[in-house]
Amino acid sequence: MTADTALAHHLATETGHLLLGIRRTTPDPARRREQGDRLAQDFLARQLARHRPRDPVLSEEATDDPGRLTSERVWIVDPLDGTREFSEPDRTDWAVHVALCERGEVTAAAVALPALGRTETTGCPPPASAPAGRVRLAVSRTRPPQDIDRIATALDADLVPMGSAGAKAMAVVRGDVHAYAHAGGQYEWDSAAPVAIARAAGMHTSRLDGAPLVYNQPDPWLPDLLICRPELAGAVLGEPEGVA
């Protein structure tokens, strides 16, 4: 594991511990959401400034730093992905994303799933065995993509509604589901770390039209994505069988 991957693992895990504490002590859902987003952002920003003072940070919860567009190294973080699920009792589908992007490519990343006590990284992705039975397709529980019926039909899949892009991507990596598809809106911080870990674990990752996912762009809007077991990508992307 590189020093950057180890740092991503440490920061995602520690931010997760902070969020678990907020969850225990803050029963009101609106206050829990506000405190979770703000305190997780404050902690991550402070830690990155301390450990990697020269690297700009692109975060859901911070003002955009134009210096990131000329920097070779940029951290892309989502301090709390699945804020809605974090605010609801007993849900485990929320995450912390920490990714290092170098020249458009994510080279080190961690996704913490604090309520499950797990942190996955690009350094040591878990073994991905194919789930048994019918194809399982993870989708947003509150904002499922418009063309989800087409994708579900193409895969002959059962839908598995879940919160958080990180939680859904890690469900593919861990072999709980076969695929995760999203459309209609998302930002780079929602997918940078999850996509890098899925790729390191051997999964297909792309836009829904098959185009590559590119990070640290001037506009961080990255509205759709597909993460799936490699053998299923052709069916979703409309490629003839036998084409990789």
Ligand X SMILES: Nc1ncnc2c1ncn2[C@@H]1O[C@H](COP(=O)(O)O)[C@@H](OP(=O)(O)O)[C@H]1O
Contact positions vs ligand X (CB under 6 A) = 60, 78, 81-83, 140, 142-143, 163-165, 184-186, 190
Residue of closest CB approach to Mg ion: 81
Nearer to ligand X, 125 or 163 (CB): 163
Q: Which does 185 bind (CB under 5 to 8 A by kind): ligand X, Mg ion, none?
A: ligand X
Closest CA to 208 of 243, 172, 173, 237: 237
Nearer to ligand X, 167 or 235 (CB): 167
Give Cα separations from 94 to 23, 105, 123 (angstroms). Answer: 12, 24, 21
According to the binding rule CB under 5 A, does residue 37 interact with Mg ion? no
Q: Which does 25 bind (CB under 5 to 8 A by kind): Mg ion, ligand X, none?
A: none
Tell me the C-alpha distance between 85 and 93, whole Å.
Answer: 6
According to the binding rule CB under 5 A, does residue 188 interact with Mg ion? no
> Could you please report the per-residue DSSP string of 126-187?
PP-PPPSSSEEEEEESSS--TTHHHHHHHHTEEEEEES-HHHHHHHHHHTS-SEEEE-S--B
According to the binding rule CB under 5 A, does residue 93 interact with Mg ion? no
Q: What are phi and psi of 157, to 5 degrees?
A: -110, 155
Q: Which of the ranges 41-49, 140-148, 187-195, 196-204 carries the binding residues for Mg ion, by CB under 5 A?
A: 187-195
Nearer to Mg ion, 55 or 81 (CB): 81
Q: Which does 143 bind (CB under 5 to 8 A by kind): Mg ion, ligand X, none?
A: ligand X
Nearer to Mg ion, 60 or 229 (CB): 60
Annotated binding residue 190: yes
Q: Which stretches within the chain are classed as H helix? A: 3-25, 29-51, 83-87, 148-155, 165-174, 188-200, 233-237
Which positions from 62 to 91 touch Mg ion by CB under 5 A, shown as an x/- string? ----------------x--x----------
Annotated binding residue 78: yes
Annotated binding residue 37: no
Nearer to Mg ion, 21 or 185 (CB): 185
- Which of left, alpha, beta for 77 (phi over 0: left; psi -120 to 50: alpha)? beta
Closest CA to 188 of 216, 218, 225, 226: 216
